[in-house]
């Protein structure tokens, strides 16, 4: 019985030491703060000049107050609370040079975040090619109209032959 008591005392001492060490670790470690989330995103993140982009941001615990987004790509825009986020829209000016621009978020609680917006400035065609309906494409000589009139004339002649061919001859037979 004496051996069982010594084992219990040793086990009790080990558990006591582990408990004290565990309590010390838990007391000295800083608790993780849930909700620390400051970010900014631009959609689309690559956009043609003249395009409207959507900005969505989060300012941790300050999403119920306006924040400001600023970029050399579009200037300043105020982001307003919207379903737990901060949102806004802005149009990239048509004369903006192509390149990558930083988009900076400044929150009411002094938090900040940055993302990148790529501005594209590709030449856009003014209109598509004048292809028409294949063979009826207008080549500048009026061919499409000529084909249409010719097709209608052929259809009228075919209808006339059809009526003439189905008509019974009248007269006496001997």
pTM: predicted TM-score of the whole model, two decimal places: 0.52
Q: Quick one: pLDDT at residue 14?
A: 52
Q: What span, in angstroms and rounded, lies between the C-alpha atoms of 125 and 56?
A: 32
pLDDT in tens, 74-120: 999 999 999 999 999 999 999 999 999 999 999 999 999 999 999 99
Q: How many helices (H) and strands (E) does the chain have?
A: 2, 8
Whether the per-residue pLDDT at 60 is higher than 70: the answer is: yes
- Of 10-19, 27-36, 65-74, 105-114, the poorest mean pLDDT is in 27-36
Q: Residue 14: CB partners within 8 Å, gap ≥ 6?
A: none
Structure confidence at residue 152 (pLDDT):
82
Residue 106 to residue 69: CA distance in whole angstroms: 6
Bridge partners of residue 53, in order along the sequence? 90
pLDDT at 140: 59
* pLDDT given for residue 82 in this prediction: 93
**pLDDT tens across 109-146, in order?**
999 999 999 999 876 656 666 665 555 555 556 666 66
Distance of CA 120 to the CA centre of its chain: 16
**H/E stretch holding 16:** helix 2-28
| 158: confidence class by pLDDT, cuts 50, 70, 90 | confident
Return d(Cα 30, Cα 36) in angstroms, integer: 14
pLDDT at residue 75 in the model: 94
Residue 70 has pLDDT above 80, yes or no: yes
Quote the pLDDT of residue 114.
95
Q: Does residue 31 register a pLDDT over 70?
A: no
* Mean per-residue pLDDT, 42-54: 94
For the chain, strand residue ranges (E) read 38-43, 46-48, 52-59, 67-71, 75-82, 85-91, 99-106, 112-120
């Amino acid at each position: 019985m004496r051996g069982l008591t010594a084992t219990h005392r040793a086990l009790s001492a080990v558990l006591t030491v582990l408990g004290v060490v565990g309590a010390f670790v838990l007391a000295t470690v800083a608790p993780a703060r849930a909700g620390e989330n400051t970010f900014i995103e631009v959609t689309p993140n690559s956009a043609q000049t003249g395009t409207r982009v959507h900005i969505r941001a989060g300012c941790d615990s300050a999403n119920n107050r306006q924040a400001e987004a600023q970029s050399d790509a579009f200037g300043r825009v105020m982001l307003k609370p919207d379903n737990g986020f901060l949102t806004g829209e802005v149009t990239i000016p048509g004369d903006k040079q192509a390149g990558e621009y930083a988009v900076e978020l400044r929150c009411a609680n002094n938090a900040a975040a940055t993302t990148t917006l790529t501005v594209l400035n590709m030449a856009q065609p003014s209109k598509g090619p004048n292809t028409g309906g294949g063979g009826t494409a207008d080549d500048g000589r009026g061919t499409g109209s000529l084909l249409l009139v010719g097709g209608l004339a052929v259809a009228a002649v075919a209808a006339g032959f059809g009526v003439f061919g189905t008509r019974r001859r009248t007269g006496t037979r001997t």
